[in-house]
Structure 1
């Protein structure tokens, strides 16, 4: 039969006569015209898949100068969409020729299948549809879209357990899945190709900083797509400094306590950074102490609220009246650490120098300060207000003595005994008194000092008057 027609296998009787008469015998051939049926199914379960969109194109790849594009308007012969049974059929039969079946949109949650090239000719293996239609049956399996979500540290390749994660539709904000990371990646299937999603960390594992959202678009591939989110340790920096000068304070000891009042343990690493002991397999417990820059750097402290207690005061500084509250944010990362500046005020002791009689301030008195061992540690001179302040004193007992009195005043032998606690509170007399030269010693009545000479003069006058009266009587 001709190339584009089916072979007519019918028998036609022909009688051969002796005369030369010619008989015409007509033989009709059916033209090859075939419908196309496409069946779409899950490659794993073999269940039918609805919603796959196909295009049937004329194959022009063997024609000189033909476009190699996947599809053009000129080449598209028909577009098919599979129904609930995973099937689609052309609306009209196709003649003999070379064609391509191209999946332009996979079923939701599946990757696109491979392009199929097929041939229609009289030898094509066809099926009969609806009892009379010849059709070429094409089958196309699809792989579901597969993604694996991993939670890892910044430097390691092992899975990091304990992170609370959520998969969110970027467009609607709907939460599609939630899970806690374990020792294996979390698998999710059948996400939509070309759609954008967000991987969000709700809560980081203890000691790790909360990661930023990861936004990704699902690719059209049969391969497993890996999405990795990595967490770094939290970073906290404590800075200790002088309240007035802002100079760093070294060698200050701290203890960090949780909400139940239990101390948190740390290990000091070789680089001087302190690591939460629960995250360290090596090293002994170490106390937190500020370095030469007045700084303590901590990694791996879980997010939460803590209490900072000073266990070792800087020399000459007061203990804060109440412990500081330390709040570690969930996002306290290496790039954005939680920094806390803590200040200490120097301890001070102010002595007031006054006139013992008038209580007026006295300038110029030289006072010495002795510690409890009797060693002179500071010395100074009172100002115009009669004040002298000693600073940088550690808690303890002190004695103040006068080394040189103000001009026209007697040097005092008095000693002031004073105690200072770690909060700067003092006990003892803070006023030093001086008596003017020629005045009675401290403790005698100033009134007697003023009226004494007057009484003496009056007594002399009385005696003199009595003497003259006695002489007049004698002469009489």
Structure 2
């Protein structure tokens, strides 16, 4: 019913008193008139909702003067403010929903951390946390979705009880950067790779380009193996797999792999001694008969060809080293997709060989004859003597070659050209032979040597040769000179003829 005070009727909802609760959460009002009232909470603790209106009735005692103290039987109650958090987890570039992210939610009260649990994003990319009391909270991602880097930010949230919080948190895929380079650190395109996880499952395949190759989405903290399947063209396959762990801190994994160029080594050797031969010119052709390489063997008897692409190749010697005959055989080798070289990579050369045989007119062998060999310009060749064979050598100590007990001189390593052979000393009792010209050609190898035979004519008396090649005839000791014998024969013949003539004359006149 309406209240009347001093003949004034008070309208409904008129405030007749205000009180504040004391430390015991109690308060009182002074009411002058009996009637129906309600208590309305004007303010409360920030963590609570204000209470609903609480009705109360005030009456007078029978004596009419003493006010009645009215006590609420039920205390006024406040409801604690509550709210929720909705986290949306998406890819930072595509906005794609990301399930599997795990978050930790905690509060800090009185400098103590209180964990409220772990929460995982569902297939709809959401994490929903409800019925959280009013207050300050902290949300931290501890495990990212597979293939993504963890968002290491700690997000501070406040539940105000007014509305639920909606929070979008993004993740970036892990990045692994692979560079394929040569020894000059230049990027090499065309290398084929695969990546396997710890279960030996292939998780990625890619081919290198002029830029570093980027692989996204490998699981942070996991161990992977990088394997090269095909090398860049002209390079050798990297034989060893590379094991790496994806960084968990979100930094880029950078892997650099170097490749060596394909390397073909052709060896040139002496067929007799197996020693390396320098100066041989070799030409290499590819499958299309294009020249792929031309070069000469070095002092180690090798040519080293770098960077040939996979395929089939042929090669041959186009010019032999001095003192050798050309090897006319054609050889081949193959470079496979891994850069490995398969084939015949050695060329043998026969040294040139000249055999001089010394005989008389009856074919008997003659030892002890000496010769010198000159070229067409008059240059006298020098030789070293090894196991009875004369080896052409600019530093050799021999310029005169001597026939052995078998009447032979064997000469090796003369360059292919024309030579003059001059006898400088004949065997005892023989005249010097004249100059002989020979040509060492591509057919004059040790397996088919050039053989010449030089005859000496026997002298009717012993002759020797001086240093100027003059022939001096010496009489033999105790022997009548030939001129006296001839004179004796002439006189004797004449006397016999005269005797015969005189005898015929006498017979005629008898």
For 1:59 and 1:234, locate their aligned partners in 2 and report how far apart those are by CA, in whole Å: 64
Matches within 5 A, 1:196-207: 196-207=223-234
User: 1:145-182 CA deviation, whole Å, 9 max, x = no partner?
Assistant: 2344444444356x543x13223215344443334333
Deviation (angstroms), 1:236: 5.2
Deviation (angstroms), 1:381: 0.9
Corresponding residue for residue 123 of structure 2 = 84
For 1:79 and 1:109, locate their aligned partners in 2 and report how far apart those are by CA, in whole Å: 20
Match of 2:369 among 365, 372, 376: 365
Matches within 5 A, 1:227-376: 227-231=255-259, 233-234=261-262, 249-264=277-292, 288-290=295-297, 296=303, 298-325=305-332, 344-354=349-359, 357=362, 361-369=365-373, 371=375
* Shift in CA distance, 188/28, structure 1 to aligned 2, threshold 3 Å: same
In structure 1, the residue corresponding to 2:54 is in which secondary structure?
Answer: coil
* Shift in CA distance, 428/113, structure 1 to aligned 2, threshold 3 Å: closer
8 Å contact from structure 1 (residues 95, 120) kept in 2: no
Deviation (angstroms), 1:292: 6.2
User: 1:302-342 CA deviation, whole Å, 9 max, x = no partner?
Assistant: 35553343333322222224245456687889xxxxxx776
8 Å contact from structure 1 (residues 50, 107) kept in 2: yes
8 Å contact from structure 2 (residues 81, 161) kept in 1: no
For 2:284 and 2:132, locate their aligned partners in 1 and report how far apart those are by CA, in whole Å: 81
For 1:170 and 1:380, locate their aligned partners in 2 and report how far apart those are by CA, in whole Å: 76
Deviation (angstroms), 1:113: 2.0
Corresponding residue for residue 207 of structure 2 = 180
Is the aligned partner of 1:145 residue 2:174? yes
Match of 2:100 among 35, 47, 51: 51
Match of 1:21 among 46, 58, 69: 69
Deviation (angstroms), 1:143: 1.8
Is the aligned partner of 1:430 residue 2:452? yes
In structure 1, the residue corresponding to 2:291 is in which secondary structure?
Answer: coil
Is the aligned partner of 1:387 residue 2:436? no
For 1:436 and 1:257, locate their aligned partners in 2 and report how far apart those are by CA, in whole Å: 59
In structure 2, the residue corresponding to 1:182 is in which secondary structure?
Answer: coil
8 Å contact from structure 1 (residues 320, 423) kept in 2: no
Q: Structure 1-normalised TM-score?
A: 0.66
Deviation (angstroms), 1:209: 4.2
In structure 1, the residue corresponding to 2:318 is in which secondary structure?
Answer: strand
For 1:35 and 1:288, locate their aligned partners in 2 and report how far apart those are by CA, in whole Å: 80
Matches within 5 A, 1:157-172: 159-161=187-189, 163-172=190-199
In structure 2, the residue corresponding to 1:260 is in which secondary structure?
Answer: coil
Q: Structure 2-normalised TM-score?
A: 0.62
Structure 1: state its 5+ residue gaps: 67-73, 128-135, 266-286, 334-339, 440-476
Q: Which has the higher contact order (CA 8 A, sep 6+)?
A: 1
* Shift in CA distance, 75/351, structure 1 to aligned 2, threshold 3 Å: farther
For 1:125 and 1:320, locate their aligned partners in 2 and report how far apart those are by CA, in whole Å: 98
8 Å contact from structure 2 (residues 179, 256) kept in 1: yes
Aligned CA-pair RMSD: 4.2
Deviation (angstroms), 1:95: 4.1
Larger Rg: 2
Deviation (angstroms), 1:402: 4.2
For 1:330 and 1:364, locate their aligned partners in 2 and report how far apart those are by CA, in whole Å: 63
Matches within 5 A, 1:28-47: 28-32=77-81, 36-47=85-96
8 Å contact from structure 2 (residues 236, 260) kept in 1: yes
Structure 2: state its 5+ residue gaps: 1-42, 61-66, 382-398, 462-510
Deviation (angstroms), 1:204: 3.3
8 Å contact from structure 1 (residues 96, 119) kept in 2: no
Corresponding residue for residue 109 of structure 1 = 147
8 Å contact from structure 1 (residues 418, 427) kept in 2: no
